[in-house]
Amino acid sequence: MKLIIGVDEAGRGPLAGPVTVGAFVAGKRAGNSILKNIFGDKLRDSKKLTPNKREEIYKKFLELQKAKKIGFSVSHISNKVIDKQGISKAIQLGVNRSLNKLHHTFLGEGDPPQFRLDGLLKAPPKYKNQKTIIKGDEKDVFIACASIVAKVSRDALMCRLASKYPQYGFAIHKGYGTALHRKLIKKLGTCPLHRFTFCKKIKI
């Protein structure tokens, strides 16, 4: 069975929290089934889906993963790494980690898979047969699935971290630079969860 792996990230632009990379693997037939039965033959950018719809799809992914019909992995790269190495290198680190997790837990032996990555993402050179697709989460079901995995996982993490810093409302804005979040930064300053290199332009 020829496997296809989709890769996408969530959280490139927020002022706080990690950037998260999701990798999703399935056979072509399983991908066609997901497109038809879960997405209703119409792909949409995960950010344009409602949180409830993303959660609903993610739960179906968990069921399919348990049945070993698909596989997926997630890597969170912290705000500290982003500040130290830059967002591009942090995302690349996330791509590497997520693919390594899939390689050890799902891929095993067999024909080399095809890799499909969103936007400007690239897999390490050791992963052959890779293709970058602009707006891939709107065009390719495997990338769309990776996008949802990354987005739901990051949102859940930000909600858990919110309990450590309840005054910042992370459960509401997930670290993105909303008017509320910027207002709170101006009022309270930054906390250890913030990307300091991203917050420099906010006058406190």
User: Mind listing the pLDDT tens digit for each residue in 150-159?
Assistant: 999 999 999 9
Q: What was the pLDDT predicted at 105?
A: 56
What pLDDT digit, counting tens, does each position of 154-192 carry? Answer: 999 999 999 999 999 999 999 999 999 999 999 999 999
What pLDDT digit, counting tens, does each position of 5-51 carry? Answer: 999 999 999 999 999 999 999 999 999 999 999 998 888 778 888 99
Q: What was the pLDDT predicted at 14?
A: 98
Reported pTM: 0.94
**Whole-angstrom Cα distance, residue 173 to residue 158?**
9
Q: What is the mean pLDDT of the chain?
A: 93
Kindly state the percentage of the chain with pLDDT values over 70: 96
For the chain, list the domains and their CATH numbers: 3-199 (3.30.420.10)
Q: What was the pLDDT predicted at 43?
A: 86
